[in-house]
Amino acid sequence: MATLTLAKALNQGLRACLEDDPKVLIMGEDVGKLGGVFRITDGLQKDFGDDRVIDTPLAESGIIGTAIGLALRGFRPICEIQFDGFVFPAFDQIVTQLAKMHYRSGGRVTLPVTIRIPYGGGIGAVEHHSESPEAYFCHTAGLRVVTCATPSDGYTMIRQAVRSDDPVIFLEPKRRYWEKGEVDTAVDLFGIDPTSHGPTGPAHASAAPVLGLHRSRVTRPGTDVTVVAYGPMMATVLAAADVAARDNQRSLEVIDLRTLSPLDLEPVFASVRRTGRCVVVHEAPGNVSLSAEVAARVTETAFYSLEAPVARVTGFDTPYPPSRLEDLYLPDVDRILEAVDRTYEF
C-alpha cells in the first residue's frame, strides 16, 4: 500500500502496462519528454524509449487512426488526448472505425486501443478544457467507456483497460489528479491464469478480489436515497452525503458507476428497491445524457419501488461557461441536496 495522488497512480499503472507487455505503446501530444501536460506519463519515455512512448504530430484523428493501424499490426496503443475538448477531431476515427471494426470483421479483428482523456471542469481553464464528453461515447456501440474516481481505481482500471481486447475510452477526472488515496500496487490483477476470467474479471482466488473493470461499486452504503455518480462528481456526492447525514439525518447510499458503457446498474436497482429514491449526478450537460439513461432504466426496472421520479443533477444545457462561472455551473453539494429533497416532495 502506498499513498498516491490519482496522477501518480495512473502514472504507475501505465508503467506497469508497459512492463507487462512489450506490445503496449503510449502515444499522444507531449507525452514524451514533457510527460504530458498533466505529467501522467512522466518519466515513461526516459525509461521505455521513444519507440514505445511516442510524441505524435498535433492531429488527433492521426493519433487514433494510426493507433488503429498499430493495433492491426499487433500493438496495444494507449492514446492520450490532451484535453476533453480536443477529442472531436478524432471523432470519426473513434466512431466509424475504432468502435466498429471488430463488428465489421465478424470478430476477426480486435482493436485493443485505450484512449485516455482528462475530462471535466473545475480547474479554472479556458474554453474546451473542461468538457465532459462521455455521452457521445456511451451512445456509440462497440466502445467501452470507464472512469475512475480514486487513485486506487486509477491504478487498477487503467491496467484492466489496457488488457481489454476492446477499445476503451478511459476518462480521467482531471481536477482530482492531485487528490491522494491508498493504492495497492502489488495487487496481482490478472491472476495466475489470466485467461480464466478474462482480462476484466476478478483476480485469482489467492489475492483479494479485484473489482472487474465493468462493475459499479457501492462506495458508501445508506438507506434513504440512492445517489449515483462517477468520476469527478464522486467527491462532491460523498461530501453531500456527509452533510445530509449531519444536517438532515438522511442516509444516502452512494454508488460509483465506474463503468459508463456498458452500465452496471444491478447495484443501483437493488439499492433503489430498498430506498425508493434515486438521484443521478454528473457534470455533463443533462440533455440526452447518461443521467437520462440511468433514470429511464431505473424507472423501467424499479417502477413500483419509486416514491418519486428519479432526480437528475447535471451541468446546464449551455456550453461550458467562462471559468469565473464554473462554480455555478458545476453541480455542488447544495444542488445535490436540493435534488435529494425533491425526491421527498412527491
Please state, as a whole number, how many other Cβ atoms lie within 10 Å of the Cβ of residue 235. 16
Distance CA 169, CA 130 (A): 17
First to last CA, the chain: 46
Among 42, 172, 224, 293, binds a second copy (CB under 8 A): 293
Complex with a second copy: residue 163 or 174, whichever CB lies closer: 174
Residue 292 touches which member of a second copy, ligand TPP, another protein, none, C-beta under 5-8 Å by kind: a second copy
Please state, as a whole number, how many other Cβ atoms lie within 10 Å of the Cβ of residue 296. 11
**Which residue out of 102, 128, 129, 139 is catalytically annotated?**
129
Are 242 and 221 contacting, i.e. CB atoms less than 8 angstroms apart?
no
- 127 contacts a second copy (rule: CB under 8 A): yes
| Smallest gap from residue 117 Cβ to another protein (A) | 15
Spell out, one character per residue from 207 to 246, where the chain touches a second copy: x when CB under 8 A holds, - when not. Answer: ----------------------------------------
**What are the start-end ranges of the H helices in the chain?**
6-20, 44-48, 60-72, 91-92, 101-104, 134-138, 151-163, 233-243, 266-275, 290-301, 326-329, 333-345
Nearest to 7 by CA among 164, 129, 134, 148: 148
- 131 contacts ligand TPP (rule: CB under 6 A): no
Complex with another protein: residue 61 or 251, whichever CB lies closer: 61
Q: Which residues in the 23-52 window bind ligand TPP by CB under 6 A?
A: 29
Q: Which residues in the 152-211 window bind another protein by CB under 8 A?
A: 164-166, 197-201
- 214 catalytic residue (yes or no): no
Please state, as a whole number, how many other Cβ atoms lie within 10 Å of the Cβ of residue 188. 14
Among 3, 242, 328, 344, binds another protein (CB under 8 A): 328
Among 141, 192, 239, 325, binds a second copy (CB under 8 A): 141
CA 6 to chain centre: 13
- φ, ψ of residue 84 in degrees (nearest 5): -45, -45
Q: Which amino acid appears at position 171 of this protein?
A: L
| Smallest gap from residue 128 Cβ to ligand TPP (A) | 7
Residue 197 touches which member of another protein, ligand TPP, a second copy, none, C-beta under 5-8 Å by kind: another protein
Complex with a second copy: residue 3 or 96, whichever CB lies closer: 96
- 89 contacts ligand TPP (rule: CB under 6 A): yes
Q: Which residues in the 69-108 window bind a second copy by CB under 8 A?
A: 85, 88-89, 91-92, 95-96, 99-100, 103-104
| Smallest gap from residue 87 Cβ to a second copy (A) | 9
CA angle at residue 121 from 119 to 122, to 5 degrees?
A: 135
Distance CA 265, CA 217 (A): 10
Among 178, 209, 262, 344, binds another protein (CB under 8 A): 262
| Smallest gap from residue 92 Cβ to ligand TPP (A) | 7
Contacts with 312 (C-beta within 8 Å, 6 or more apart), sequence order = 279, 280, 281, 286, 291, 292, 295, 339
- 130 contacts ligand TPP (rule: CB under 6 A): no
Q: What element of type H or E holds 252?
A: strand 252-256
The 3-state secondary structure of 175-194 reads HHCCCEEEECCCCCCCCCCC
- 33 contacts another protein (rule: CB under 8 A): yes
Active site residues: 129
Q: Which residue ranges make up the site for ligand TPP (CB under 6 A)? A: 29, 58, 60, 82, 86, 89
